């Protein structure tokens, strides 16, 4: 106790005198915001957008007492100062270069070059680089960025490129220069890219040669009202690695060839320094800039490698865009394990199967759209797998039918879930051996769940967002998925309000709705924005989509809300049919009604291609706009009509049944007219104050008489 008291007094003295200045860098050298977690997020001082600071004071969540854990001002680089820092004089503990170095994924390529130096690191067509060559190329590009273009610590370097070798190498070269890598979605148009260039403040802009037109158009838009000196320098990435050609720009390969031969890698001084800036995919709104730090990238890479069973020297096929959450951390993960990266500029199902056979691919990844592509590949495009191919899938909830179809081809699926804000993968559906004996459909259903958090996430929970209480593990109660831990983003770049809102109550709010099953596994039900509320009942678009994927003619499907004058909203399905397949809207609706409660089945079906991000996510916000533009379904007005139906009624009051299922109260309009062997025949008369389409009337009667809604009986009681 006395030692603890002395430690607190020392802390108080140090706090009262202020933090020592940083000696290694001037504040002007840092341009990415720093999130200072010294206080609770409710405090206006909680998140500090001042230039990066290297003095940390953390608050212990368990004790509530503040303790100064790290002083980064003593580190002037990777080696730091030899004398280090005394942490506790009485305990004899110090922090110095011998026992501390900032965590960073840059260490992975250093080890790969040393251990696997002569093994293939990157393969793209006929191009091939070893790990020793890849590291040398990265260092030379970092040197060129610093010496030729004045890139300093904290500067942003933007890239617009598919999965080519330069895109892979820039995941190391840019942070080697102390800069922040910012990769853009290759499907963005010039207007969006211009906006992101402006927001990020990029100093250098790499553009792959096939995307040069959109890159230049973005710069022209940015030039309006911007001084030439403020524009980023445009550099090209040649498709074949041969150089700039006639583009008139300096090319990536020019940097590799002409860079200074000597360069000291700018290791992070603080492991919380930014390493990448990732803009969200824009599936729900305009993209936001998510800041990753070296520590989080390092830890999430290790966790992803372990969760994905990536052993030493894998062969990884790049079907996940590297611009999406930095390729789920696997540019660093493949280096960590000394593997071989098979880069693909673009791919089809045939290219995937051919690449697997040619290179002996052991691992690949992809959104459910990639799985769908594989599962529905024509027989002529398929090739026998040379061995098990482990596929990490995520980005959207995969339909069980698709999982089953892909595994039947010999692929081994790993289902992960996460957000851009969690460095990508954050949970994994950990497989239990006893599930192997279950029927195939049950195995697929279990694997479609999102599972538990991986080892780098401190905790994931499903909570009532209003009370912050955990939902029961009953598989039914819906709550919001929330995260906390070392692999949660540093924050939204230049948006302190959004950062504080997303991390309210000490948890990262995902906006995803889920349940927890009795075994603790999480299963997503929907995005909060995607829940459809029809007649007071919640409809999970994911559940409806899973049924749609079970139709033999359906290749892809998405369900959103369509406004309805009577129900408020109804389900509207957007469906893409397989090549050569035929189906009508009536058939699709009937198929769903046979497998879902009537209120959940779509009442509208629209055929056509679905808008996608380049990571394979359906852009539902665009579909919602289309559904809203359709307006309410037309309703037929009837002055009066009579329906006669029958059902065996026990001790129930019929008109109460109508009220229970959220329709109208019929009251005196329900009249028993005959009774035969306990079967009552009812005449139901609806006055002209109510209006329904023919389909509504059929659904209305079916729900009423085929569902055993028991009610309290009143004076009118019927018996068998």
Decide which of 10 and 367 is more confident: 367
pLDDT at 28: 34
Residue 176 has pLDDT above 80, yes or no: yes
Q: Which residues contact 428 (CB under 8 A, 6 or more apart)?
A: 307, 414, 415, 416, 417, 451, 452, 454
Average pLDDT of the segment spanning 30-56: 34
Residue 686 has pLDDT above 50, yes or no: no
Give the tokens for residue 140.
């030379």
Q: Measured between alpha carbons, how far is 290 from 277 in angstroms, rounded to an integer?
A: 6
Residue 25 phi/psi, 5-degree rounding, is -160, 145
H-helix or E-strand containing 87? strand 85-88
pLDDT at 399: 78
Task: Please choose, from the candidates 487, 492, 470, the residue with its C-alpha nearest in 3D space to the C-alpha of residue 479.
Answer: 470
pLDDT digits 0-9 by tens, 446-491: 998 999 999 999 999 999 989 999 999 999 999 999 999 999 999 9
96-101, long-range: CB < 8 A, 24+ apart: 101/267
Q: Can you tell me which residue has the tokens 């895109």?
A: 167
H-only helix segments in 594-713: 620-630, 654-660, 694-706
Average pLDDT of the segment spanning 72-88: 51
Q: Measured between alpha carbons, how far is 521 from 266 in angstroms, rounded to an integer?
A: 42
Q: Give burial (CB, 10 Å; 0-12/13-18/19+) of 578.
A: middle
pLDDT digits 0-9 by tens, 351-374: 999 999 999 999 999 888 889 889
Give the tokens for residue 114.
């040393």
pLDDT at 532: 86
Task: Please choose, from the candidates 291, 294, 290, the residue with its C-alpha nearest in 3D space to the C-alpha of residue 268.
Answer: 294
Average pLDDT of the segment spanning 119-143: 97
pLDDT digits 0-9 by tens, 136-163: 999 999 999 999 999 999 999 999 999 9
pTM over 0.95: no
Cα 14 to the center of its chain, rounded Å:
42
Pair 87, 93: CB distance under 8 Å: yes
pLDDT digits 0-9 by tens, 226-252: 777 789 999 999 977 655 556 678 999
Q: Measured between alpha carbons, how far is 672 from 675 in angstroms, rounded to an integer?
A: 8
Q: Across the chain, which distance is largest between two alpha carbons, in Å?
A: 99
Q: Can you tell me which residue has the tokens 């495009």?
A: 381
Pair 671, 682: CB distance under 8 Å: yes
- Sheet-wide strand order for 233-237: 250-251, 233-237, 204-208, 156-160, 180-184, 274-279, 289-293, 491-492
Q: Which residues contact 224 (CB under 8 A, 6 or more apart)?
A: none
pLDDT digits 0-9 by tens, 389-447: 999 998 666 778 888 889 999 999 999 999 999 999 999 999 999 999 999 889 988 99
Q: Measured between alpha carbons, how far is 649 from 592 in angstroms, rounded to an integer?
A: 28
pLDDT tier for residue 640 given thresholds of 50, 70 and 90 = very low
H-helix or E-strand containing 348? none
Give the tokens for residue 612.
């996608």
Q: Measured between alpha carbons, how far is 182 from 176 in angstroms, rounded to an integer?
A: 14
The whole-chain average pLDDT of the chain stands at 78
Pair 579, 554: CB distance under 8 Å: no
Q: Please state at what angle helix 400-408 crosses helix 440-447, rounded to 10 degrees.
A: 120
Instruction: Give how far Cα 239 sits from Cα of 160, 244, 335, 717, Å.
Output: 13, 9, 23, 80
């Amino acid at each position: 106790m006395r030692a603890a008291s002395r430690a607190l007094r020392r802390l108080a003295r140090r706090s009262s005198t202020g933090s020592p200045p940083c000696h290694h860098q001037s504040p002007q050298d840092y341009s990415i915001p720093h999130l200072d977690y010294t206080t609770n997020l409710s405090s206006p001082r909680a998140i500090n957008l001042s230039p990066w600071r290297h003095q940390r004071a953390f608050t212990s969540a368990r004790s509530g007492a503040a303790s100064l854990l790290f002083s980064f001002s003593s580190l002037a680089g990777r080696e730091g100062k030899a004398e280090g820092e005394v942490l506790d004089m009485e305990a004899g503990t110090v922090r110095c270069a011998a026992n501390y170095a900032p965590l960073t994924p840059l260490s992975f390529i250093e080890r790969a070059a040393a251990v696997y130096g002569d093994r293939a690191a990157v393969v793209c067509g006929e191009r091939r680089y070893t790990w020793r060559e890849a590291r040398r190329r990265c260092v030379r590009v970092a040197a060129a960025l610093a010496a030729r273009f004045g890139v300093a610590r904290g500067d942003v370097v933007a890239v617009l490129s598919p999965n080519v070798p330069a895109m892979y190498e820039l995941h190391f070269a840019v942070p080697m220069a102390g800069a922040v890598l910012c990769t853009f979605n290759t499907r963005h148009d010039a207007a969006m890219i211009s906006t992101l260039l402006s927001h990020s403040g990029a100093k250098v802009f790499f553009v792959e040669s096939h995307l040069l037109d959109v890159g230049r158009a973005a710069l022209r838009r940015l030039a309006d009202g911007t001084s030439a000196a403020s524009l980023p320098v445009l550099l090209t990435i040649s498709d074949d690695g041969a150089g700039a050609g006639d583009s008139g720009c300096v090319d990536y390969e020019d940097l590799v060839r002409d860079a200074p031969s000597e360069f000291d890698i700018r290791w992070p001084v603080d492991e919380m320094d930014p390493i990448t800036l990732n803009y969200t995919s824009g599936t729900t709104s305009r993209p936001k800039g998510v800041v990753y730090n070296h520590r989080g990238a390092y830890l999430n890479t290790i966790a992803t490698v372990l969760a994905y069973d990536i052993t030493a020297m894998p062969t990884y096929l790049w079907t996940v865009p590297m611009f999406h959450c930095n390729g789920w951390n696997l540019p660093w993960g493949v280096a960590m394990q000394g593997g071989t990266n098979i880069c693909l500029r673009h791919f089809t199902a045939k290219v995937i199967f051919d690449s697997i056979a040619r290179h002996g691919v052991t691992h690949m990844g992809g959104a459910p759209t990639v799985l769908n592509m594989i599962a529905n590949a024509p027989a002529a495009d398929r090739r026998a797998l040379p061995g098990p191919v482990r596929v990490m899938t995520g980005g959207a909830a995969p339909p069980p039918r698709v999982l089953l179809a892909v595994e039947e081809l010999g692929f081994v699926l790993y289902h992960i879930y996460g957000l851009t804000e969690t460095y990508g993968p954050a949970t994994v559906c950990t497989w239990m051996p006893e599930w192997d004996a279950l029927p195939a459909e049950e195995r697929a259903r279990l694997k479609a769940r999102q599972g538990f958090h991986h080892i780098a996430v401190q905790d994931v929970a499903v909570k009532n967002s209003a009370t912050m209480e955990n939902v029961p593990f009953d598989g039914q109660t819906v709550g919001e998925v929330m995260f906390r831990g070392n692999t949660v983003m540093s924050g939204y770049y230049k948006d302190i309000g959004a950062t504080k809102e997303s991390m309210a109550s000490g948890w990262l709010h995902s906006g995803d709705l889920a349940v927890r099953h009795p075994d603790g596994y999480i299963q997503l039900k929907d995005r909060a924005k995607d829940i459809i509320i029809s007649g007071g009942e919640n409809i999970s678009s994911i559940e409806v989509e899973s049924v749609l994927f079970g139709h033999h003619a359906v290749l892809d499907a998405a369900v959103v809300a369509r406004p309805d004058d009577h129900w408020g909203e109804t389900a509207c399905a957007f469906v893409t049919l397989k090549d050569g397949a035929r189906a009508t809207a009536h058939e699709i609706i009937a198929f769903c009604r046979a497998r879902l409660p009537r209120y959940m089945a779509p009442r509208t079906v629209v055929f056509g291609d679905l808008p996608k991000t380049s990571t394979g996510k359906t852009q539902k916000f665009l579909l919602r706009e289309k559904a809203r533009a359709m307006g309410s379904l037309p309703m037929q007005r009837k002055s009066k009509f009579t329906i006669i139906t029958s059902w065996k009624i026990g001790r129930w009051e019929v008109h109460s049944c109508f009220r229970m299922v959220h329709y109208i109260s019929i009251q005196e309009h329900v009249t028993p007219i005959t009774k035969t062997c306990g079967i009552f025949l009812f005449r139901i008369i609806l006055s002209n104050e109510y209006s329904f389409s023919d389909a509504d009337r059929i659904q209305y009667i079916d729900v009423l008489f085929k569902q055993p809604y028991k009610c309290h009986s009143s004076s009118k009681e019927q018996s068998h």
